[in-house]
Amino acid sequence: MLKHLAYVEDHWFARMLHDREGQPLWSTVDWKADRDWDWNSAASDSPEELRSLWEDAVERSRKLLDEALAGGGGLDQLARRKWPDGRAPSLRWILVHMIEEYSRHNGHADLIREAVDGLTGE
């Protein structure tokens, strides 16, 4: 999940919001050959590598968010990169989407934990 979330951070804050190239790692991937490369390739990475990749991505995203907010457009500013239909998400939409992304995967992690330890609840 950490490698996937690192990719998602880079995608939304660097590529979509600022229309900048993503981190070099992501541009070297043949996504057509393996659409789930961020998930599948993580099996060969160490926990330390995955954690570092994710922490670095989050740090970059925070800086890119600060940069966008410093520009004065607020949460209603539109991303510079557009979807294929020509629309662009707002910064507000991106932030809510990121909350949803983390929430969804937090739920996945909780299901895995429950399968391992057999405990449920809060």
Quick one: pLDDT at residue 109? 78
Tokens 């998400």 -> residue: 89
More confident site: 114 or 41: 41
Give pTM, 2 decimals: 0.88
Quick one: pLDDT at residue 122? 66
For 81-121, the pLDDT digits (tens) are 999 999 999 999 999 999 999 999 888 777 777 888 877 76
Q: How far is CA 120 from CA 7, 72, 109, 113, in A?
A: 30, 45, 12, 9
More confident site: 115 or 10: 10
Mean pLDDT for the stretch of residues 34-59: 96
Tokens 């995955």 -> residue: 50
Tell me the domain boundaries of the chain.
Answer: 2-117
Please, which pLDDT band fits residue 32 given cuts at 50, 70 and 90? Answer: very high
Considering the chain, what percentage of its residues have pLDDT values greater than 90?
84
Quick one: pLDDT at residue 30? 95
